[in-house]
């Protein structure tokens, strides 16, 4: 009996990150890093607010979304009220707690994750439309960014068979 992995091996992933909060950026980074570690070709495409993850000025100050996040829980498992999220300092505090937990688990900062992905053969791209909207140039991005490309160019890179597109 053959498995689906044997019949249809995953050869390439295109991961699209459109949000700039910690949880969405790290989901994209973890998936891309896992792919390159498994020998799967990985390309990350950052668009709209996801550009914060690859922008030199923003990449070290990502936050956790505290408003409108139904999965947010307080210590002890109680639901986190959206009303609390609008209070001054709450988002910063929650973000600091999240970053502290990530440090305890030895999860690298964004810059280091990007370096690991590129060192493993992955590629990082910025969306041309979003970069133009936010008036960003290649100089605004970390050096791990391969290029600023259009969505059409991203799809051309997919190469068809064996490619999975993942949107975080």
Residues 117-165 pLDDT 10s: 999 999 999 999 999 999 999 999 999 999 999 999 998 887 767 678 8
Average pLDDT over residues 49-72: 82
Q: Are 147 and 125 in contact (CB under 8 A)?
A: yes
Which residue in this structure is represented by tokens 């949107």? 167
Do residues 5 and 34 lie in contact, with contact meaning Cβ atoms separated by under 8 Å? no
Mean pLDDT to the nearest integer, 95-110: 81
Q: What is the pTM of this model?
A: 0.82
Cα–Cα distance between 98 and 92 in angstroms, integer? 10
Under 8 Å CB-to-CB from 40, ≥6 apart: which residues?
A: 10, 11, 12, 13
* Cross-strand bridge partners of residue 17: 46
Fold (topology level) of 10-63+78-167: Hypothetical Protein Ychn; Chain: A, (3.40.1260)
pLDDT tens-digit series, residues 5-57? 556 678 899 999 999 988 899 999 999 999 999 999 999 999 999 999 999 99
User: Helical H runs in 8-163?
Assistant: 22-37, 82-85, 90-104, 110-119, 128-133, 151-158
Q: What is the mean pLDDT of residues 94-123?
A: 87
């Amino acid at each position: 009996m053959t498995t689906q992995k044997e019949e249809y091996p995953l050869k390439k992933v295109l991961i699209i990150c459109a949000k700039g909060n910690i949880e969405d950026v790290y989901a994209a980074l973890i998936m891309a890093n896992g792919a390159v570690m498994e020998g799967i070709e990985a390309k990350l495409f950052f668009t709209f607010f996801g550009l914060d993850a690859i922008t030199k000025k923003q990449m070290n100050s990502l936050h956790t979304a505290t408003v409108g996040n139904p999965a947010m829980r307080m210590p002890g498992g109680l639901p986190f009220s959206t009303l609390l999220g609008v209070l001054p300092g709450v988002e910063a505090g929650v973000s600091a707690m999240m970053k502290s937990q990530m440090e305890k688990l030895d999860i690298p900062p964004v810059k280091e994750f990007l370096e690991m992905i590129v060192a493993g053969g992955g590629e990082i791209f910025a969306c041309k439309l979003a970069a133009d909207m936010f008036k960003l140039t290649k100089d605004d991005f970390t050096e791990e960014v391969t290029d600023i490309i259009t969505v059409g160019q991203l799809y051309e890179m997919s190469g068809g068979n064996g490619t999975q597109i993942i949107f975080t």
